[in-house]
Structure 1
Amino acid sequence: MDGAAMNHVAHGFAAAQIRVVRFEFPYMAARRRGERRGAPDRQPVLLDCWRDVVSELGGGSRLVLGGKSLGGRMATMIADEVGARGVLCFGYPFHPPGQPAKLRTAHLETLRTPLLIVQGSRDPFGSQEEVGTYALSQSIRVEWIPGGDHSFKPRAGSSLTERENLETAIGAGVRFVTSV
C-alpha cells in the first residue's frame, strides 16, 4: 500500500479531485508489523475485508472499487454483490506467472459492474496477447500500457519511463472513475 508507485497513483487521483481510501488486508498489516511472512489470507478473509470497507464507507452505490493485483481481483469478486458503480484494477492477475492455463477469470465472464483493467502489455500475470483470447463480460475494458510489466515498468532501453507509464495508468483511471 505504501509503495512509491501506489503512492504516486493515489496522489494522481487526489490531484484530479477524486477521493481515495486505502486499506490493508490483514496479512499485509501483519507483515508491516513484522508478525508474519508468507502467503496472503485466504479468499474468504480478503472478501470479508473488502465488504467491511465498503460497509464503513456507506455501501457500494457511490463507490468505484479499485486495487492493484490481488486487491483489484478481490474487488471484482464483490462488485456486483455490493452494487459498486465500477471497479478499477491496476495489473489484474489473470493467472499465476508461468501458468497461463490456471485462469482466474470465470467470474469475469458474467460481471455486470463496469470494470477497467489497466494492464502492462507484457505482464506475466496476463499479457496483451493472452488476455485478447479470454471470454470477458461486455462490461470490461482493458487499457494497455505498452511494454509495461505487472507494475507498468518498461523494458530497459524503452523510450518510455516507469513514471510515464504510471501517468498513463492514472489518466486512464481518472477518465474511467469520472465516467461511471
Structure 2
Amino acid sequence: MTLDDIAGIAHEPEGSPVGAVVLTHGAGGNRDGALLVGLCDEWAGRGWLAIRYNLPYRRRRPKGPPSGSAKADQEGVVEAVELARGLTDGPVVAGGHSYGGRMTSVAVADGLAVDVLALTSYPLHPPGKPERARTEHLPAIAVPTVFTHGTADPFGSPEEMRAALALVGAATEFVEITGARHDLGSKSLNVPALAVDAALRLLG
C-alpha cells in the first residue's frame, strides 16, 4: 500500500514524526480542499506526518457526489489507516470533513483501530431534516473523538451536536466555531489550530 494507492499527499514534519494523521474530504470535495490542507499543515507543524487523501469514489471520477457504495468508501478509510500504521510507530489519528468524517466514524465504529477520531463538520442530518439523524453508529465508537463544528452549519446545530456527542462511547471534545458554516471558514479563528489542540488533548 502506497500513497498513490489512496491518492494521498503527505505533509512531512521536520525530524521523525510523532505519529501519523490521515484525513479525507466531504461529498463534493477532494483532498485539495482548503480546510484539509490547513489541517495537514497544522499537524505537520506539530511534528506529525499528515496525509490528505481521496476516497475511492473520488479516485474514480474527479467531480460529483459519492457514487458506488458507502462500504467501499469505508474500505478506503481502512486502507489509509493501514498505510499510516506502516509509516509510524506512534499514534494514528484518522478523520475527515463531512461525508469523509462520517465514513471514517463508521469504519471506527466497525472496529477500525485508531487513537483519536477527528471530525470536522460532521453531517448530523441533511439540512432541514433533523429527523434523519445519522447517529445509529455513534454508541459503537470506542475511541476519543473530536467534533469541530460551525455554529451556523445547517447539517446540525450546536445543541443537536452536543446531544449526538453524548451518544459516543468514549471521551469527546466539541470545538465550536462561532459563525462558521459547513466549510468551517472563519476570519477570526484559527480553525486548524483549535481542531488539532483538541485532538492532542484527547491523546493526553
Please give the TM-score of this superposition, normalised by the length of structure 1: 0.81
Structure with greater proportional helix content: 1
Q: How does 1:26-41 map to 2 (within 5 A)?
A: 26-32=56-62, 37-41=64-68
Q: 1:21 aligns with which of 23, 48, 51?
A: 51
Distance 1:112 1:38 in 2: 29
Map 1:44-123 to 2 at 5 A.
44-58=71-85, 62-80=91-109, 81-123=111-153
Deviation per residue, 1:49-78 (Å, 9 max, x gap): 111122222379831112111111111112
Tell me which residue corresponds to 2:188: 164
1:26 Cα deviation after fit = 2.0
- The amino acid of 1:140's aligned partner reads T
Instruction: Report how far residue 178 of structure 1 moved.
Output: 2.6
Residues 111 and 139, structure 1, Cα contact 8 Å, conserved in 2:
no
Please list the CA deviations of residues 90-112 of structure 1 after superposition, one character each: whole Å capped at 9, or x if unmatched: 11011111111101111113321
Any stretches of 5+ residues in structure 2 without a counterpart?
A: 1-30
Kindly provide the amino acid, as one letter, of the partner of residue 111 in structure 1. I
Q: Which amino acid aligns with 2:173?
A: R
Bigger proportion of residues as strand: 2
Structure 2 Cα separation of the partners of residues 170 and 8 of structure 1: 6
- How many residues are treated as equivalent by the alignment? 167
TM-score when scaled to structure 2?
0.73
Structure 1 segments (4+ residues) deviating >3 Å = 36-41, 132-135
Percent identity over paired residues = 26
Instruction: Report the RMSD for the aligned CA atoms in angstroms.
Output: 2.2
Letter in 2 for 1:136: L
Tell me the equivalent position of 2:167.
Answer: 136
Distance 1:57 1:123, change over 3 A: same
The alpha carbon displacement at 1:163 in A equals 4.2
